[in-house]
């Protein structure tokens, strides 16, 4: 069922080849890369400028090529920019008005740039949480089997029976105080950590099922039986024989968790319990932009750009995820997921 040599160079070459032949995945990957580089380069400025307000002239200012933000507060806010990026300063200042301004006169370009990174960070954190929890749980169940397996999987079944949105809300609410205290009261960062822990802690269930299924099937492979016959312990077998075979399918599944986590963050923002202001995220900006959908006023840029970027990011992430799955794991996870 699963090719034991998934990690050998030739096999991964075919994987890469398969990925490269997938046009959607390549386009998505290119888009992601471009966005990551662009927002990465802009990071020093977006960190400095994302909450520079301009109440006097810039409130809900439409996109324009000419800058409406006075230069002085922007210059004052700029902190440490790496020397290599310094020459970009004037371009950045000019870019501040390209996509318009929000209700406090803050530049949408830089809020989007930072929001992209925040969203990606939350999604990545959530995926990592799900990955670690799910792999540990699933592998334990699959390896030990028997009673333990039954018990662990029953827990997963129970948690499946709970609506995930309830879990996320209650996790978020319950975790906030202890974690903020644990992180030394640095609320802004504590908040992000809580957010991805909460999202991650509801996304690990499927991961656990996938990993358990894989481990179970691997247990009956000849090479595992052979090493068990030679007296190898379960931990050794897991590390030596199973882990290499798990990497592909698990990575493929994980790449599909990323866009889901991003969408969940957007939904939490819509409820007002996502990323807290002034920090932006794509979901937060999109949820704020929904107010533009009305017959009276059109702050279309506050809706179109965040939503557009969010949708494109999700399309790209989904494309790459699908591509990865087809490349690394043509059969097995699809069966598990179903």
Partner 1 sequence: MMRMIARRLVLGAATLACVYALTFLMVVSAPGNPLQTSERNLAPEVAAALRARYDMDHNGRYFVQLLLGILRLDFGPTFQYPDWTCNQILAQSLPVSAMLGLVAILLAVVVGVPLGAMSAVRGRGWASGLGLSLALAGVCVPTFVTGSCLLLVFAVFLRVAPVGGWGTLAHLPLPAVTLALPFVAYVTRLTRAGMTEALSQDYIRTALAKGLPRRQVVWKHAFPVAFLPVLTYLGPATAQAMTGSFVVEKVFSVPGMGQHFVNAALNRDPGLLIATVLVFSAMVIAFNLIVDGVHVCVDPRLRSRAA
Partner 2 sequence: MVRGALILLLVLLGGAWLSGRRSDVRPAPDFRYVHSSDVHTLDPARMSWTQDLRIALNLWEGLCAYDPSTLSPVAGAAGYPPEVSPDGLTWTFHLREDGRWSNGDAVRSSDFVRGWRRAMEPGTAADYAFFVTNHVAGARAYAEWRTEAMQVLTALSRRAEGWPLDARQVEALLTLECARPVREAWEALKRASANAGGEGATPGHAAALGDAALPWRELHAEVMRRHVARMDEQFAEVGLETPDERTLVGRLVKPCPFFSDLVAFPALSPIHESLELLRERWGDAPLTREGLVTYDAQWTKPDYRKSGYPGLVTNGPYRLADWTFKRSLRLEVNPFHREAARIPCRSIEAVVYDDPNTALLAFESGDVDFIPTVEVSYDHEIARLARSGERADFHLCSLAGTYFFNFNCCDAVVDGRPNPFVDARVRRAFCLAVDRRAIAEQVLQRGDRPAEAFVPPGTMPGYEPPAGLGFDPASAQSLLAEAGFPHGEGLPVIELLFNTGGPHGSICQAAARMWETHLGVRIELRGKESKTFAEDKASRRFMIARANWYADYNDPTTFLDVLSCGNGNNDSGYCREEYDALLAAASVERDATRRMSLLREAESLIASHDCPILPLFHYTSVTAIRPGVTGLTPNARLLFPFRAVSVAR
Catalog residues that contact partner 1 under the rule CB under 8 A.
154, 157-158, 160-163, 165-166, 169-170, 173-174, 176-177, 259, 263, 266-267, 270-271, 273, 283, 286-287, 290, 293-295, 303, 307, 310-312, 314-315, 318, 334, 337-338
- Residue 87 as a binder of partner 2 (CB under 8 A): the answer is no
Instruction: List, in order, residues 6 or more apart from 190 with CB less than 8 Å away.
Output: 176, 179, 180, 182, 183
Q: Figure out which of the listed residues 291, 311, 331, 335 binds partner 2, where binding follows CB under 8 A.
A: 291
Q: Which does 303 bind (CB under 5 to 8 A by kind): partner 1, partner 2, none?
A: partner 1
Of 242 and 282, CB closest to partner 2: 282
Number of residues this chain uses to bind partner 2 (CB under 8 A): 28
Q: CA-to-CA distance for 331 and 336, rounded, in angstroms?
A: 9
Task: Please count the other Cβ atoms lying within 10 Å of the Cβ belonging to residue 336.
Answer: 20
Q: CA-to-CA distance for 207 and 132, rounded, in angstroms?
A: 9
- Residue 103 as a binder of partner 2 (CB under 8 A): the answer is yes
Instruction: List, in order, residues 6 or more apart from 309 with CB less than 8 Å away.
Output: 35, 112, 116, 282
- Residue 75 as a binder of partner 2 (CB under 8 A): the answer is no
- Residue 295 as a binder of partner 2 (CB under 8 A): the answer is yes
Of 49 and 102, CB closest to partner 1: 102
- Residue 337 as a binder of partner 2 (CB under 8 A): the answer is no
Q: Which does 223 bind (CB under 5 to 8 A by kind): partner 1, partner 2, none?
A: none
- Residue 2 as a binder of partner 2 (CB under 8 A): the answer is no
Site for partner 2 in 250-289 (CB under 8 A): 271-273, 276-278
- Residue 229 as a binder of partner 2 (CB under 8 A): the answer is no
- Residue 41 as a binder of partner 2 (CB under 8 A): the answer is no
Task: Please count the other Cβ atoms lying within 10 Å of the Cβ belonging to residue 269.
Answer: 23
Q: Which does 160 bind (CB under 5 to 8 A by kind): partner 1, partner 2, none?
A: partner 1
Measured between its terminal Cα atoms, the distance across the chain in Å is 16
Query: Rounded to the nearest whole angstrom, what is the least distance from the CB of residue 169 to partner 1 in the complex?
Result: 4
Rg (CA), the chain: 23
Q: Decide: helix, strand or coil at residue 69.
A: coil
Task: Please count the other Cβ atoms lying within 10 Å of the Cβ belonging to residue 181.
Answer: 10
Task: Assess whether the previous peptide bond of 81 is cis (omega < 30° from 0).
Answer: no
Measured at the CA of 103, the angle between CA 285 and CA 73, to 5 degrees, comes to: 105
Q: Decide: helix, strand or coil at residue 52.
A: coil
Query: Rounded to the nearest whole angstrom, what is the least distance from the CB of residue 106 to partner 2 in the complex?
Result: 9
């Amino acid at each position: 069922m699963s090719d034991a040599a998934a990690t050998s160079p030739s096999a991964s070459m075919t994987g890469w080849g398969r990925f490269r032949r997938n046009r959607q995945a390549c386009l998505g990957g290119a888009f992601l890369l471009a966005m990551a580089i662009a927002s990465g380069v802009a990071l020093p400025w977006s960190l400095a400028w994302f909450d520079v307000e301009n109440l006097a002239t810039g409130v809900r200012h439409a996109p324009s090529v000419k800058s409406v933000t006075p230069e002085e507060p922007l210059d004052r806010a700029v902190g440490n920019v790496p020397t290599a990026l310094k020459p970009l300063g004037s371009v950045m200042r000019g870019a501040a008005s390209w996509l318009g301004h929000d209700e406090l006169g803050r530049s949408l370009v830089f809020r989007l740039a930072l929001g992209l990174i925040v969203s990606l960070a939350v999604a990545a954190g959530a995926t990592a949480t799900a990955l670690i929890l799910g792999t540990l749980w699933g592998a334990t169940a699959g390896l030990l089997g028997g009673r333990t397996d039954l018990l662990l999987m029953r827990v997963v079944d129970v948690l499946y029976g709970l609506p995930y949105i309830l879990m996320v809300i209650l996790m978020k609410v319950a975790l906030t105080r202890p974690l903020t205290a644990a992180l030394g009261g640095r609320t802004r960062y504590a908040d992000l950590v809580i957010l991805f822990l909460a999202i991650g802690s509801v996304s690990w269930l499927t991961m656990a099922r996938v990993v358990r299924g894989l481990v179970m099937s691997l247990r009956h492979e000849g090479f595992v039986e052979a090493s068990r016959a030679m007296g190898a312990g379960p931990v050794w077998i897991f590390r030596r024989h199973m882990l290499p075979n798990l990497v592909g399918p698990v990575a493929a599944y994980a790449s599909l968790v990323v866009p889901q986590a991003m969408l969940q963050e957007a939904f939490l923002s819509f409820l007002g319990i996502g990323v807290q202001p002034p920090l932006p995220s794509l979901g937060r900006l999109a949820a704020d932009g929904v107010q533009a959908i009305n017959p009276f006023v059109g702050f279309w840029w506050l809706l179109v750009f965040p939503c557009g970027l969010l949708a494109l990011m999700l399309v790209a992430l989904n494309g790459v995820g699908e591509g990865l799955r087809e490349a690394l794991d043509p059969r097995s996870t699809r069966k598990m997921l179903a």
